[in-house]
Structures are given as structure tokens and as C-alpha cells.
């Protein structure tokens, strides 16, 4: 039985775990509560630099993590939804938004943590509506956060009285760069600037470090938090890398400015002159640091974006865009529609290539096919978004007959995008599960999956061609019906193998049946337009 009264190392790590778990719960619940607002905020990125900063502050407040926001921006950049100049202001805003959590934990609310947890849990347990449950989860998350901080503080007070620890901390006073490196590494490890600064608050409150020492922890936490986005940018395209490194350079240059001789002592002196408690002074250091950094770099948002874009130029393999679309070049709606149809067929070719290669996901343990599928799905998402916007722009200008044709094109394009998502999300998930569990299909089962795959590929090809050739619609429908019969037959064959007790079939049963179902759904999506075009 562990004695938690004396095992302070356990208390320290448990406190960090409670802190991170609480932030995770609060973040996820807030994201669910504010999902629609997140979408609206992201749609306003390009309206102005100041608004972009407001968006960054708001998103970080909602998600409770500047790293999570910048990682999201990296993902959006990889999907070519945004560019660097749109989000430079957001990056600055995330830094300001991250100060809210630090201010909250500086208020010494640990005494209210257990009553808050009890009330929030009672509301969560009795509530029926999802909105109320998520609202209660937010407060449960913050209560865990405050409990964790109290445990960290308790452990910090204990270790602050140990001679070995105090000697080490005193030696760091003469080498502040080591404190900076330690805080960077710790923040990169825990992926949270709040918990890093919270630990510094606990050490300072215990008298182990001074306010000046704690400011180096604040600097380190601000640099360390960029690791989340840098990791997210690994394997990303040029836009994703630009966003991640812009975040890193912004934070690093900000710290470099504050470390200029004369600036850091003045900053510490200003904090001490406010006469606030130690924990609040550290929170103020984090707040003032980020406000000052935002003020310094705000006028240089666009020039800085261009410099970073020059450092991380577009790779030739990332040079993918719509070939036939221009919102202003086609005065005739009929001509515009014909070019959009070419773009739709280009999208369809990519989806068909994904279907053809999807069977490779289940051969061996190589992750190459998964990465290839995801890269092509990003292209489909990009073409879907651009082509749909293009068609909607011309829909209101067109005659009734052309307008109806545009709606059919958008529906087919949507089905293509959903089919690509089914491959990218559902099939890759099944493949990853198979690889993780080191499972193998029985030879009979694998032969039947390949048979189903070949049939789906043929049906998808006919379904795509039938969109531009109505005479093939009846054939597409018939082939899809034959595929449905084949799927039923293959399911029965699989159940027969289960009844015979074949070990491989038993182990892979859920994956096998889900794969058959997903293949049939993909074919149905691509052929659904044929029912309205006979």
C-alpha cells in the first residue's frame, strides 16, 4: 500500500496527471459546446489582422491549448484550406489566449476544487441533455486541474526544503539559460505551457525559486509549447510547415527580445513593483510577455509571413490545384459548367485510384499505402471545396436547366468526397487495427476480399463513366445490385468459416465484415446519381 503522505514523488506526478487530465476534459467539453462558433471563427480568418488575433484568442480560450490551436492550423494548412498570411494573426492571438488558464490557476482556487467537482459531477450524472453534460464536464475538468495544481504545490513545498534540491536550484540562479532549457524540455514533454508555468508557481510559492527565476520558466514554456505544432507538421506540406515554424520563430524571437541586456531586469522590476502575490506575479509575467510580443510583432505580420513563405517554399509535389476553375473568367454559365465537369471527372479519377489501391492497405504492415491514401483524400477535399464554390457562384446566374444540372453535379461531387472519406477514415482505420493486432485473413477470406475489391473497382468505374454518359446509368445500377448480392454471398461464406471454427476467420471477423460493408457503401455512393439520370 503506497503511503501518499510520504511518497511526494507520487503526489507530484499524480498532480501533473490530474492537471493534464482536467485540461483535456475541459478542452473536449468546450470544443463540443462551441463547435459551431469554432467554424464561424475559422471562416473569418482573412477579414483583418486584428480579427485574426481575436480569433486566435477565442479559439485558445475554447480549446484551452495554444498547441492544439496551432496543430489545427497546421492540419488546415496541409489540406490547403488556409495560407500563412491568413493565420499569422491567429498565431499571435493563441499566445494571448493561453494566458487565461494561467491566470485562473494563479488564483489559488484549490480549496474550491472538491465542492466544484461534487456539484459538477452531480449535474453531469443527473442531466439528460448533451449540452448540460458538456457544461458540467467543463467544471469537472477545471476542478481536476485545481486538484492537480494543489498536489503539485504540496510536492513542491516538500522538495523545496530538501538541501540537495535547494542547492541545485540555487546553482541555477547563476546559469539561467539552464532553467530556460529545462522548462523548454519539460513543456515539450507534457505539451502544456500551463502545467509548466503552474509548476514554476508552486516552486516560487514554496520559496525554491525567485520571481526572476520563474520568468525564465515562463520564457521556456512559451518556446516549449511550439513543439506540439512542430510535431504535427512532420510529413505536412509546405503550408503546414510554414504555420508550425512561424509559431516557433514568433515565440523564440519574443523571448530573445526579452533577454536583451537591460530588458529582462526591467521586466522583473516592473512585476515586483506591482506588489502582487508570487503566483499572480508569474501569471502577470506570462500575460505581459505575450501582450508585449503581440504589440511588437503586429505591424510586421505580413512581411514576416512573406519571409517565412520564402524559407519554406512550395515543394513541386505540393503543387496541386484546380486546373479548370476560375470564378471570374467564364461569362457563360454553360461554359463554366462544362469546365467544372472536367474538374469533377478529375476528382473522380483520384477517388477511383484510391479504390484501386485500397486493397494494399491490408497487405503487410507498411504504412506507405495509408499515407498515400491520406494525401489523395486531401486532394479530393481541396477539389471538392473549390469546385463546389465555383458551381454555387454560377448557380444563381444560370438558367433553370443549367441550374438543375449544377445541383446534380454538386450532389455527385459530394458523393465522391464521401466515398474518399470512407476510404481515408473507415478503411484505413480497419487496416491500422489489423496491423496493430497482427492479424491475417484466412486464404479463402482474403481471396473473397480481393474478389469484392475487384467488383467494387469495376462498379465504381462504370458509375463514374455513367455520370457523363446517361446510357450507362442502367448498367451501373444493375452492376451495383449484383455487387449487393455478392456481398451477401461473401458474408454467408465467412459465417460458414466461423461455424467451421477457422481461427483466422474468427480473429478477423469484425474487420472482414466491416470491410465488405464499407466496399458496398463506397460503390453505392458513386452509383447513387444513376437513379436520377436514367
Determine phi and psi for 484, rounding to 5 degrees. -60, -40
pLDDT of residue 40: 58
Residue 289 and residue 435 in one domain: no
Give the domain extent around 80.
Answer: 8-311
Residue 305 and residue 362 in one domain: no
Does residue 427 belong to any structural domain of this protein? yes
Does residue 445 belong to any structural domain of this protein? yes
Count of structural domains within the chain: 2
Residue 483 and residue 520 in one domain: yes
Q: Which residue has the higher pLDDT, 53 or 258?
A: 258
Residue 222 and residue 357 in one domain: no
Residue 382 belongs to domain with CATH number: 1.20.58.220
pLDDT of residue 2: 42
Mean pLDDT (whole number) for 210-227 = 89
Reading the block at residue 218, the C-alpha cell is 515562463
Does residue 410 belong to any structural domain of this protein? yes
Determine phi and psi for 72, rounding to 5 degrees. -65, -40
pLDDT of residue 491: 92
d(CA 276, CA 267): 15
| pLDDT of 7 over the 50 cut | yes
Does residue 38 belong to any structural domain of this protein? yes
Does residue 324 belong to any structural domain of this protein? no
Residue 338 and residue 400 in one domain: yes
Residue 76 pLDDT level (bands cut at 50, 70, 90): low
pLDDT of residue 350: 93
| DSSP secondary structure letters along 425-448 | IIIHHHHHHHHHTT----HHHHHH
Cβ distance 139 to 119 under 8 Å? Answer: yes
Does residue 327 belong to any structural domain of this protein? no
Mean pLDDT (whole number) for 32-53 = 63
Residue 406 and residue 339 in one domain: yes
Query: How many CA within 13 A on the CB side of residue 390?
Result: 30
Which 8-state DSSP code applies to residue 398?
Answer: S
Mean pLDDT (whole number) for 173-183 = 82
Reading the block at residue 364, the C-alpha cell is 503487410
Among 258, 280, 311, the domain-final residue is 311
Give start and end residues of each alpha helix (H) in 233-332: 238-258, 263-273, 278-297, 301-311
Determine phi and psi for 210, rounding to 5 degrees. -90, 175
Among 311, 344, 362, the domain-final residue is 311
Cβ distance 490 to 448 under 8 Å? Answer: yes
Tell the burial category of 177 from Cβ atoms under 10 Å away from its Cβ (0-12, 13-18, 19+).
exposed
Residue 399 and residue 464 in one domain: yes
pLDDT of residue 481: 92
| pLDDT of 81 over the 80 cut | no
Residue 261 and residue 117 in one domain: yes
Residue 332 pLDDT level (bands cut at 50, 70, 90): low
State pLDDT tens for residues 378-392.
Answer: 889 888 988 888 888
3-state helix, strand, coil in the chain (%, to 5): 80, 0, 20
Does residue 319 belong to any structural domain of this protein? no
Helix (H) or strand (E) holding 530: none
Lowest mean pLDDT among 10-14, 343-347, 371-375, 421-425: 10-14
pLDDT of residue 534: 59
| pLDDT of 120 over the 80 cut | yes
Residue 272 and residue 402 in one domain: no
Residue 95 and residue 19 in one domain: yes
The residue written with cell numbers 454559365 in the block is 333
Among 281, 311, 341, the domain-final residue is 311
pLDDT of residue 1: 36
Lowest mean pLDDT among 389-403, 431-445, 467-481: 389-403
Residue 300 and residue 352 in one domain: no
Mean pLDDT (whole number) for 209-213 = 85
Residue 105 and residue 139 in one domain: yes
| pLDDT of 288 over the 80 cut | yes
Cβ distance 105 to 146 under 8 Å? Answer: yes
d(CA 13, CA 213): 22
pLDDT of residue 135: 83
Does residue 323 belong to any structural domain of this protein? no
Amino acid at each position: 500500500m503506497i503511503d501518499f503522505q510520504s511518497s511526494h514523488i507520487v503526489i507530484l506526478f499524480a498532480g501533473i496527471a490530474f492537471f493534464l487530465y482536467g485540461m483535456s476534459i475541459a478542452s473536449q467539453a468546450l470544443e463540443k459546446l462551441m463547435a459551431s462558433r469554432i467554424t464561424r471563427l475559422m471562416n473569418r480568418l482573412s477579414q483583418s489582422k486584428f480579427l485574426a488575433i481575436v480569433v486566435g484568442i477565442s479559439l485558445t480560450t475554447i480549446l484551452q491549448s495554444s498547441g492544439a490551436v496551432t496543430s489545427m492550423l497546421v492540419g488546415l494548412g496541409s489540406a490547403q484550406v488556409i495560407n500563412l498570411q491568413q493565420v499569422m494573426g491567429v498565431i499571435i492571438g493563441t499566445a494571448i489566449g493561453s494566458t487565461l488558464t494561467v491566470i485562473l490557476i494563479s488564483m489559488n482556487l484549490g480549496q474550491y476544487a472538491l465542492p466544484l467537482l461534487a456539484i459538477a459531477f452531480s449535474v453531469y450524472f443527473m442531466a439528460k441533455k448533451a449540452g448540460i453534460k458538456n457544461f458540467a464536464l467543463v467544471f469537472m475538468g477545471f476542478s481536476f486541474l485545481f486538484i492537480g495544481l494543489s498536489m503539485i504545490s504540496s510536492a513542491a513545498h516538500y522538495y523545496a526544503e530538501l538541501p540537495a534540491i535547494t542547492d541545485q536550484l540555487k546553482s541555477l540562479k547563476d546559469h539561467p539559460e539552464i532553467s530556460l532549457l529545462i522548462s523548454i524540455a519539460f513543456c515539450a514533454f507534457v505539451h502544456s505551457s500551463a502545467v509548466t508555468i503552474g509548476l514554476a508557481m508552486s516552486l516560487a510559492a514554496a520559496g525554491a525559486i525567485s520571481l526572476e527565476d520563474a520568468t525564465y520558466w515562463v520564457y521556456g514554456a512559451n518556446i516549449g509549447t511550439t513543439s506540439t505544432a512542430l510535431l504535427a507538421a512532420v510529413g505536412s506540406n509546405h503550408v503546414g510547415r510554414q504555420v508550425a515554424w512561424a509559431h516557433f520563430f514568433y515565440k523564440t524571437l519574443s523571448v530573445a527580445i526579452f533577454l536583451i541586456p537591460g530588458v529582462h531586469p526591467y521586466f522583473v522590476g516592473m512585476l515586483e513593483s506591482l506588489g502582487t502575490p508570487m503566483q499572480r506575479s508569474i501569471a502577470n509575467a506570462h500575460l505581459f510577455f505575450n501582450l508585449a510580443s503581440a504589440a511588437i510583432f503586429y505591424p510586421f505580420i505580413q512581411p514576416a509571413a512573406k519571409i517565412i513563405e520564402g524559407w519554406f517554399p512550395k515543394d513541386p509535389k505540393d503543387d496541386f490545384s484546380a486546373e479548370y476553375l476560375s470564378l471570374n473568367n467564364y461569362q457563360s454559365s454553360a461554359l463554366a459548367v462544362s469546365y467544372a465537369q472536367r474538374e469533377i471527372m478529375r476528382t473522380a479519377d483520384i477517388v477511383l485510384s484510391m479504390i484501386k489501391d485500397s486493397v494494399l492497405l491490408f497487405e503487410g504492415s507498411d504504412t506507405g499505402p495509408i499515407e498515400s491514401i491520406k494525401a489523395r483524400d486531401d486532394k479530393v477535399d481541396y477539389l471538392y471545396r473549390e469546385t463546389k464554390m465555383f458551381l454555387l457562384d454560377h448557380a444563381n446566374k444560370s438558367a433553370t436547366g443549367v441550374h438543375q444540372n449544377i445541383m446534380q453535379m454538386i450532389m455527385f461531387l459530394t458523393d465522391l468526397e464521401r466515398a474518399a472519406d470512407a476510404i481515408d477514415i473507415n478503411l484505413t482505420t480497419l487496416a491500422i487495427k489489423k496491423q496493430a493486432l497482427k492479424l491475417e485473413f484466412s486464404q479463402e477470406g482474403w481471396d473473397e476480399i480481393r474478389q469484392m475489391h475487384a467488383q467494387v473497382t469495376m462498379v465504381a468505374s462504370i458509375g463514374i463513366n455513367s455520370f457523363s454518359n446517361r446510357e450507362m446509368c442502367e448498367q451501373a445500377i444493375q452492376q451495383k445490385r449484383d455487387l449487393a448480392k455478392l456481398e451477401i454471398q461473401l458474408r454467408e461464406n465467412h459465417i460458414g468459416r466461423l461455424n467451421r471454427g477457422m481461427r483466422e476467420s474468427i480473429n478477423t471477423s469484425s474487420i472482414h465484415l466491416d470491410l465488405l460493408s464499407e466496399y458496398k457503401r463506397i460503390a453505392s455512393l458513386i452509383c447513387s446519381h444513376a437513379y436520377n439520370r436514367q
